[in-house]
Structure 1
Amino acid sequence: MENSAEILIIGAGVIGASAALALARAGHDVVVIERNSGVGDGSTGSSAGIIRVHASDEQSVAMAADAVAVWNDWAGFLDAGPDEHLARFVRCGSLILDAGNGFTDRAAESMRAAVVPFEAWTLAEMAERLPYLDFRRFGPPVPIDDEAFWSEPTEYLPGALYTEQSGYVGDPTLAAVNLMDAARRAGADVRLSTEVARLELRAGRVVGVALADGRRLSAAAVLVAAGPHSDALLRSVGATSDFRIATRRIREELVHVPAPPGIETALDGVHLVDGDLNLNFRPEHGNAFLGGSNGDLPEEQTVVEDPDRFDRRVSAANWERTTLRLARRIPDLGIPRARTGVVGLYDAAEDWLPIYDRTCVEGLFVAMATSGTQFKTSPVVGELLRHVIESELEGRDHTTVPFVAPTSGRSYATEQFSRLREPRVGQARG
């Protein structure tokens, strides 16, 4: 072996960067390798950067709330210098429309259980505070070539949940860079444009990786946080043989649409969660909206087998479907002819919950299925992964010892993120 590390992290997205920071701050010898030429250049860069607290279960809500506290003190958390260029958390609030599918009821119950504040808005309150939105009931979502899509609704949505502490980070890549810069200051070694050819095992234990350029890197533990490339890397050594939860690679499109005249998204914008039309939108710099699907309709998802081969252009079909649906909610919206947006590949579990766990291969750990949902929790997830890795390397089952978030002192059960869990019924992306 030409090089060695105590803990090797494969993937320099926002999750890999957060794990590197937590482990390096705890005194571990950490090396991060990334196949791309920049930090956060993969799935992180195609994220909408939503920072929200609502979710289908209490633990996800609590972790999101703990993370919001970090985003509110981003410079302090990073111990950043006065001249460091930092990602900015913009608080715009989230409005979660009651589409009649039960999601808002579950979200409200979960936020109450986690003692996370929210407001229940009536139809009249929504219309008064956001007069540019049409709150008629258009759903359930149907294809735009269905006659039902164009019919005029006769009912209104009954209300919504509102969380004023929510918002977004307009540059998710920069957030990952900030985390990795802090990890470097703590002693982590980061190597970009470094591709893994294969994981190397000896006697059922991972001992490092072979790189595409022929070099080898040894490690006492390896964390795979490679987004859509994680599954193939793990399968190549049989590390997913006992997984009870399936993951898939979903091609995700976010469209960029200018706001209509008279609307200033910096002042009037809100993160809109619209299960009635299968939409999820937020304000965007330049007085525009950015967003796409809620991810609730499997028939509108494009699953990709090869993460290196997918169309990175905004498709005409998705552009038309998404913008026309948004135009139903924002009647004055003009739809530009030029298609603009962001296309990426999301690594997601069938129940939209992440996997933070060890594998059946000794010393091999995973942070999988985080795309599209876990950008918001990433500052806390790094510490959670440190708990998982340290517990297992010390010979303890990490699921038997609760993870205590250092930012809040709140305890979490890591079984929820286990590779051995049964898929959670009714879990939504949110």
Structure 2
Amino acid sequence: MKQVVIIGAGIIGGAIAFEMAKAGWLVTVVDKAPEAGYGSTSNSSAVIRINYSVMETCAMALEGWTYWRDWAGYVDLPADRPLATYRETGSLVIYSGDGAGMARITDIMDRIGGVYDRVTPEGIRAYVPMADLQSYAPAKRLDHPDFGEPNPEQVGGAVFFHQAGYVNDPKLAAQNLQWAAEGAGASFRFRSKVEGIETAAGRVSGVRLADGTILPADVVVNAGGPWSAGLNRMAGVTGDMTIRNRPNRQEVAYIPGPENMDYRRDGIVIADLDAEFYARPDPVGICVGSTDPACDTHEWVEDPDALDTRFTDQWTAIVMRGAMRLPEMRIPGQASGLVALYDTSDDWLPIYDRTSMPGFYMACGTSGNQFKMAPVVGKLMTHLITETEAGHDHDAAPLSFRLERTGGRIDLGTYSRKRRVNAQSSFSVMG
């Protein structure tokens, strides 16, 4: 039986572990944290949606949605185990101008079977009562003299995507995958920091831990999230990568919802590409994050372990942008929420690929938008690894991947480490 060591016990690493264990691999997952999902996964907004900028990712997201709807059936755990819950609310994407970019996405939906409704500006209030319909684009920085000033025209409209919602507990979802993987024969080692990648005869041979333990492996998978770029450097596999990834600091606000509605009960997922924020229901009221407008500078973090978790004016800007659209938003005097990291690639699309070192693979560059893909990524990576280890040259002839539940195939070259920057990308968390 071939051995695989997966570095990272977040939602992506857990899904890969589950699928590879089911496929007959001897799986060991290592993570320096004390529990599964303890890192960036626990800080995910856990939004489930199918609208992306690239056809392959939309198709993967639609496939992923089918697993979240059937989460209990997918992980198949004993009845006494707690389960993460998916709540379907739908997602309203608000846009400026003529919505040409959204027309391209709805064209993709027509190709893959996504269900959506076109919404007029006035129709937005059917989903979000008393919404301000003025346009605020382009987004401005908090210190801009016109920050918060509306344009003369209204927003262009919106699209409501039915196959969308959110997962109530992303950390528990990762733990569900851990338990499912263990049930299939995988083992997990926590508080185990990786300090080296072992090689022999020109290929990976194992992983060296901080305590000196060497875990032998035929295959190693880097699913380290914000730590994955450092692991790639440790393995010496960055030389042929045309797409890189690095940790990107983000702030998310948890605040009371608008006064005119119980957002916890009646709220939906919103992606406002005019005011540049996203929102979803939360036990506190509403979770509000940024859609990464061009005016906001990105804060790249050299050392993920040295992340500054204090709130800044980014928190204020996010909340104020939300209040532009939702004027009855209650804004607390004290910032609350979280500060965390995206593992951001150059074009905000993931890297699911082999590397220049035989036997060393990567599932990284998830850019804050791949949580919803996890079950599909587990199957995709298992397919890619199995075929490559059997001798297929994925660099020369990129593999395709069949989507089991929704049908069709996607080109895995889309997620190659050696691709050109994808000009179709949103270059934001929208993917």
TM (normalized to structure 1)? 0.95
Q: What SS class does the counterpart of residue 119 from structure 2 fall into?
A: strand
Deviation at 1:45, TM superposition (A): 0.9
Tell me, yes or no, if structure 1 residue 251 matches structure 2 residue 249. yes
Per-residue Cα deviation, 1:115-142 (whole angstroms, up to 9, x for no partner): 2121111112112332232121011101
- Note the 1:182-201 alignment, pairs <5 A: 182-201=180-199
1:24 alignment partner in structure 2: 21
- Note the 1:72-151 alignment, pairs <5 A: 72-100=69-97, 102-151=100-149
1:12 alignment partner in structure 2: 9
Match of 2:172 among 171, 174, 180: 174
User: How far, CA to CA, are the matches of 1:152 and 1:60 in structure 2?
Assistant: 33
Contact 1:97 1:104 in 2 (8 A): no
Deviation at 1:97, TM superposition (A): 0.8
2:267 alignment partner in structure 1: 269
1:41 alignment partner in structure 2: 38
CA RMSD of aligned residues (A): 1.6
Match of 1:357 among 345, 350, 353: 353
- Note the 1:260-339 alignment, pairs <5 A: 260-286=258-284, 288-297=285-294, 299-313=296-310, 315-339=311-335
Deviation at 1:312, TM superposition (A): 1.6
1:69 alignment partner in structure 2: 66
Contact 2:148 2:324 in 1 (8 A): no
Deviation at 1:244, TM superposition (A): 0.7
1:411 alignment partner in structure 2: 409
Aligned AA (1:10): I
Deviation at 1:5, TM superposition (A): 6.7
Tell me, yes or no, if structure 1 residue 346 matches structure 2 residue 342. yes
User: How far, CA to CA, are the matches of 2:341 and 2:150 in structure 1?
Assistant: 35
Contact 2:253 2:288 in 1 (8 A): yes
Deviation at 1:251, TM superposition (A): 0.5
User: How far, CA to CA, are the matches of 2:229 and 2:90 in structure 1?
Assistant: 35
Contact 1:5 1:31 in 2 (8 A): no
Per-residue Cα deviation, 1:88-113 (whole angstroms, up to 9, x for no partner): 00111111111237432332222122
Per-residue Cα deviation, 1:133-182 (whole angstroms, up to 9, x for no partner): 21210111011222222434321112111112200012111111101110
1:408 to 1:128, Cα distance in 2 relative to 1, 3 A: closer
Tell me, yes or no, if structure 1 residue 52 matches structure 2 residue 23. no
Number of aligned positions between the proteins: 425
Deviation at 1:202, TM superposition (A): 2.1
1:132 to 1:254, Cα distance in 2 relative to 1, 3 A: same
Aligned AA (1:395): G
Deviation at 1:47, TM superposition (A): 0.7
Match of 2:362 among 363, 366, 372: 366
Contact 2:349 2:367 in 1 (8 A): no
Contact 2:258 2:327 in 1 (8 A): no
Contact 1:227 1:371 in 2 (8 A): no
Deviation at 1:400, TM superposition (A): 4.1
Uncovered stretches (5+) of structure 1, i.e. residues with no partner = none
Contact 1:58 1:110 in 2 (8 A): yes
- Note the 1:374-413 alignment, pairs <5 A: 374-398=370-394, 399-413=397-411
Contact 2:141 2:295 in 1 (8 A): no
Q: What SS class does the counterpart of residue 20 from structure 1 fall into?
A: helix
Aligned AA (2:330): G
Bigger drift between 355-364 and 295-304 goes to: 295-304
Percent of aligned pairs with the same amino acid:
36
Uncovered stretches (5+) of structure 2, i.e. residues with no partner = none
Aligned AA (2:71): W
Deviation at 1:9, TM superposition (A): 0.4
Contact 1:130 1:268 in 2 (8 A): no
User: How far, CA to CA, are the matches of 2:150 and 2:292 in structure 1?
Assistant: 25
